[in-house]
Structure 1
């Protein structure tokens, strides 16, 4: 098998793009920086050899491309092209140069003003997804990319299209453990409220450097999402008011119907509570 079918390396080609460096690796694939003659650098996400043999995963990956191409919003990373190279599906996206929100938070917790400023755009992008019939299902700091103080929603690998066939088996839970809503954990139907729950988890992580139930064994995290109230941030930080903490925690209500109706409205309510 040609080497590129295992994993492209700097100097190799994927479609018309020449790979210049590895940006990151994950369970589902590798993200590279690439260029085409005379063009700007782009991000190229290539499926791993192993997962390229998984028919359901490949269908989901191709649906990621379709889902992302349905959205035109300044805070959603656009898909520029897609294809297959030696049996490995790939997609090409705009390169966002500032890393992820996860990397930013790893350097220290953020103040409330910075958190609101960074998440206002992605919240509007999330609402745009919902307006197109999509639920992202994997909102987390690693999937929010930064360019200065502008942030973008990325990675539609788990997105659910209400108008498309379901690739998730009944009772199957998909998502990232620290940000999963109770209905997601139970394998029930997801909705825009599922993404708003995850956004609330992201908000708490920005302000405290850890997700609301982080630092526990996996089963205890699952139980906490299902049964425990989120932490009171005002008890952890003297610069956060009780009213602000209450506004943040509204997104983490156990029942979907009790959460804010929109992601943008949720962030705006926190800004008002904080007096921003």
Structure 2
């Protein structure tokens, strides 16, 4: 993207996807690519330009600065400094923070808000996922960006831009939002961080937002919160913006309560969280250097992978998977390509069904993380990495003819094809396409062809891009029913994968694929991977299509 090489996918949010890259000075950076529906709106582009320019003026401690941005291309983007930290919402899945850590967290965030407001910027989307717990303390991210979306009045699920559960009453009520709204949101973050409970209760996002908007008539019940924290919450959650404390006053209150200043962050987190943050810091340092871009093809030879894209080889003999090519070898071993009588290899077969090659904008090549690869189990139990090709869409592999599965009106495309899914090392992501089947370790700007992402540094674990359910049988009918009736959450995180309760040996995962087929992945083995902290899987994949 605009000269930045995308090294790894870090995560995804309501505004777009975030990738790890390096600046021209070889410093790590996070590049956020804005969602296409926002980027196609001219009003959003204008506001985004204004807001990011303002955000680039923000400087201060506990601030993740904006380094670069562009609104002129097809997909707007911005680059910030990279903090190898743990988002607060992820940290809270292990339970609330100790009260001293909450005061230090809020004090540092309040100091950062002071810097944001001094630059004339209002955050407008302060929530746990926008607070990073880093090696040097907590940091604020994404300040001011949500305003660009608000100004266009674009609606998303629930009808809100931003996060309803962390809005101020004036924001939830559609009134003018000032810097005091950020203080209200920080009070909500403090309450949740200390207890795991939201002051306005549980429920749908719109329901919680309605309660927040009604604060003047019905303030939240704070009786169940720690005595030492209650005065802070009462002031921050005042219905009248003028009664809320200024960030500097809030920071001073937290310093008095904790006995630590905003830069005193040594040993402030529980050991388990500190260990996870250190692991992510190591993982970010272990990313491979990007290989040099491939030379352009000779005159008269069009690149096989489409304009602007050059496949990247993984270190060693393994190649990154691409979207075109010849079929993989059958279990008996690699076969020689048939002669064409011209001395040139046969043309590459392409997949049909509306799934064209993705064109990666700007960069000449993407980086594949070498250790994060899929392997195909071959006859005799040994594993080999797949070639950069796969069967074409609609073709029938040689080992299985298309046969009917009469109880559901499906035909078998292939059955029990063995795959080994290795957990991604460092900050890697493996993208899984069950229709072929195939996996790619290249960073993807578009997840649309894939059913599964296996993600490393973010701690997400397995992320399902299509609804994934568990089947009780191995027939197409049972798979179809499982995909509908026993649907898993969209993410199965690292810690849950390691426990082996949601997904274990014998689990039959079923989904309707992005090509409209029916796929089953049977988990036949799980092996701990000490490097990634997540298991390696051996699986068998079966694919059906409508008869």
When the two structures are superposed, what TM-score results if normalisation uses the length of structure 2? 0.43
Q: What is the SS of the residue equivalent to 2:126? A: coil
Shift of residue 84 of structure 1? 5.5
- Specify the alignment match of 1:89 in structure 2: 76
Structure 2: 5+ residue stretches without partners: 154-158, 261-547
**Contact kept in structure 2, 1:183 and 1:190, CA below 8 Å:** yes
Q: What is the SS of the residue equivalent to 2:31? A: strand
- Specify the alignment match of 1:99 in structure 2: 86
- Specify the alignment match of 2:110 in structure 1: 123
- Specify the alignment match of 2:168 in structure 1: 181
Q: Encode CA deviations 1:183-204: one digit per residue, 9 max, x unaligned.
A: 1112111112111100100100
Shift of residue 57 of structure 1? 2.1
- Specify the alignment match of 2:203 in structure 1: 216
- Specify the alignment match of 1:68 in structure 2: 55
Which of 120, 143, 146 is the equivalent residue of 1:158? Answer: 146
When the two structures are superposed, what TM-score results if normalisation uses the length of structure 1? 0.81
Determine whether 1:110 maps to 2:97. Answer: yes
Determine whether 1:257 maps to 2:245. Answer: no
Give the RMSD, CA atoms, in angstroms. 2.5
**Contact kept in structure 1, 2:87 and 2:132, CA below 8 Å:** yes
Q: What is the SS of the residue equivalent to 2:67? A: strand
- Specify the alignment match of 1:232 in structure 2: 222
Residues 1:129 and 1:81: Cα distance change in structure 2 (over 3 Å): same
Shift of residue 218 of structure 1? 3.2
Residues 1:269 and 1:51: Cα distance change in structure 2 (over 3 Å): same
**Contact kept in structure 1, 2:116 and 2:122, CA below 8 Å:** yes
Task: Pick the structure with more helix per residue.
Answer: 1
Structure 1: which 4+ aligned runs deviate by more than 4 Å? 273-276
Structure 1: 5+ residue stretches without partners: 1-13, 161-165
Which fold has the larger relative contact order, with Cα–Cα distance below 8 Å and residues 6 or more apart in sequence?
A: 1
2:72 and 2:121 map into 1 onto residues whose CA distance is: 28
1:33 and 1:49 map into 2 onto residues whose CA distance is: 19
Q: What is the SS of the residue equivalent to 1:33? A: strand
Shift of residue 273 of structure 1? 5.5
Which structure has the bigger radius of gyration? 2
Which of 34, 39, 42 is the equivalent residue of 1:47? Answer: 34
- Specify the alignment match of 2:16 in structure 1: 29
**Contact kept in structure 1, 2:63 and 2:139, CA below 8 Å:** yes
